[in-house]
Amino acid sequence: MNIYVSNLSFNVQDEDLREFFAEYGEVSSAKVIMDKFTNRSRGFGFVEMPDNVAAQKAIQELDGATVEGRAIKVSEAKPREERSNSGGSGSGGGSRRPYSGGGGGGGNRW
């Protein structure tokens, strides 16, 4: 099971995240997500546990737990599907038509 962990202290590293969950069972991977420009933690991460029963127990017991003064949020990770449709046809989709064939000379302005 893939588990989403948020509201992490910026000091929490991958190994710390692994240790939080290892108490409940085998951890396949633990990754704190880093900002690609600053290389600092973004305050959330993901943990993978092969045993769903152990993962559910970890979620129940760690959700709301205080780690370095912060109440972390722990839940089953959801697929990133909802982000894929939000970028392409947003605000500029219908109004920016440089080859619209007329319309008062405004066709080439972006």
Domain count, the chain: 1
Domain range for 8: 2-76
Q: State pLDDT tens for residues 67-79.
A: 989 999 999 999 8
Residue 105 within any structural domain of the chain: no
Does residue 106 lie within any of the structural domains? Answer: no
| Residue 81: inside a domain | no
Report the CATH number at residue 37.
3.30.70.330
Torsion of CA 32, 36, 41, 44, to 10 degrees: -50
Task: Please tell me the pTM assigned to this model.
Answer: 0.71
59 in any annotated domain: yes
| Tens-level pLDDT at each residue, the chain (110 residues) | 999 999 999 999 999 999 999 999 999 999 999 999 999 999 999 999 999 999 999 999 999 999 989 999 999 999 877 555 555 555 555 544 454 455 555 555 44
Closest CA to 47 of 12, 11, 5: 5
